[in-house]
Structure 1
Amino acid sequence: MAITKDQWAKIQERLKSSFATMQFIVGEHTISVERRSISESKTALAVFVDGQIEWKNAFDSDGDRPDIITKVWRRRSKAIFPPAKKAKLIKNFGKRKAKEYFPKMDEVMESYDPFFNTAASLVRQFKKIEGIELSEKMQAKLAALEEVAL
């Protein structure tokens, strides 16, 4: 069953808490979201696919990355050459020679990150996933929270 607008709001509120956990189903994959400690003073929402985070999928440039990763993890991109360094190379070599000596000067590295800083950013991305459902366990918990609130 599709997740309603009300349920998304409750999910977002629940994920803001210190000990947040949520479980979704996308196709045959189980997606678990938990608040985890990243450093001594920082926490983030970690997205587990089928109970694990496989870091090889974050930087996979061969195209062997499962499609589910691109849907549920946060896309990150970074220029190989920062704009300041690129400008300095062009100034020193000229545009034509800089591109000749550094052919990857305009390329961007892409990776995927399983950590979301805020619940709002996670919910925004997850709302776009077609066929996402709450697990039965989470549906029951949300329904119980609704009854308590009444």
Structure 2
Amino acid sequence: MISKEQWDSIEQTLSMIHGRVELEYGDHKITLYRMALDECRLVIMVYIDGAYHPAWGFSSSKKYKPLVESIWRRRTKAYYTQKQQKEFMKIWGGKRAALKSFPRLFDKAVWFEPYFPKFSTIKSQYKKIEALELKDKECLA
């Protein structure tokens, strides 16, 4: 379990460019890096045992890792917008008829991303994980 003082030092380390924090979660080494995702966006990237693969975050992939559900960022997107849903219900004359033609009308796609846009989101998610331990932190600037 990570203490409040440790969370404060982790936040301090990851607020700097190229900050790195190593955590231990069971048999896995979780590494958090502060890095540029693109030209204008800094994120906290999460590596599992020194690597990451985007396919690990998709349950339909053969490379899917269930571990990412607890340590990566959960994302969702509706297959159809609310506007499209209303149009389909209007065209088909109601919700039931629209669902017969479009069974996934109200479903959402779910996947996991290996990065977090800010520290507060990663902290709130990781505080729920009791088996997480701080191993090392440093700034590579």
Q: TM-score, normalised by structure 1?
A: 0.84
Aligned to 2:133: 133
Is residue 55–residue 63 contact of structure 2 (8 Å, CA) maintained in 1? no
**Count of residues in correspondence between the two structures:** 137
Determine which structure has the larger strand proportion and give its number.
2
Residues 63-142 of structure 1 mapped to structure 2, 5 A cutoff: 65-95=64-94, 96-135=96-135, 137-138=136-137
Rounded Cα–Cα distance in structure 2 between residues aligned with 1:124 and 1:17 = 20
Question: Does residue 44 of structure 2 align to residue 45 of structure 1?
Answer: yes
Rounded Cα–Cα distance in structure 1 between residues aligned with 2:129 and 2:22 = 14
* Paired-residue identity, %: 27
The 10-residue stretch of structure 1 (92-101 or 38-47) with the greater mean CA deviation from structure 2: 92-101
Determine which structure has the larger helix proportion and give its number.
1
Deviation for aligned residue 1:64: 6.7
Rounded Cα–Cα distance in structure 1 between residues aligned with 2:62 and 2:92 = 34
Deviation for aligned residue 1:97: 2.1
Rounded Cα–Cα distance in structure 1 between residues aligned with 2:61 and 2:129 = 24
> Which secondary structure state, in structure 2, belongs to the residue aligned with residue 134 of structure 1?
strand
Aligned to 1:21: 20
Is residue 16–residue 118 contact of structure 1 (8 Å, CA) maintained in 2? no
Deviation for aligned residue 1:63: 8.6
The 10-residue stretch of structure 1 (82-91 or 63-72) with the greater mean CA deviation from structure 2: 63-72
Kindly tell me: are residues 104 and 117 of structure 1, through their superposed partners in 2, closer, same or farther at Cα, counting changes over 3 Å?
same
Rounded Cα–Cα distance in structure 2 between residues aligned with 1:10 and 1:124 = 15
* Greater RCO (CA < 8 Å, at least 6 residues apart): 2
> Which secondary structure state, in structure 2, belongs to the residue aligned with residue 124 of structure 1?
helix
**Residue type at the aligned position of 1:126:** Y
Q: Which runs of no fewer than 5 residues in structure 1 stay unpaired?
A: 142-150
> Which secondary structure state, in structure 1, belongs to the residue aligned with residue 99 of structure 2?
helix
**4+ residue segments displaced more than 4 Å:** none
Q: TM-score, normalised by structure 2?
A: 0.89
What is the aligned-residue RMSD (CA, Å)?
A: 1.7
Kindly tell me: are residues 6 and 40 of structure 1, through their superposed partners in 2, closer, same or farther at Cα, counting changes over 3 Å?
same
> Which secondary structure state, in structure 1, belongs to the residue aligned with residue 83 of structure 2?
helix
Rounded Cα–Cα distance in structure 1 between residues aligned with 2:63 and 2:54 = 13
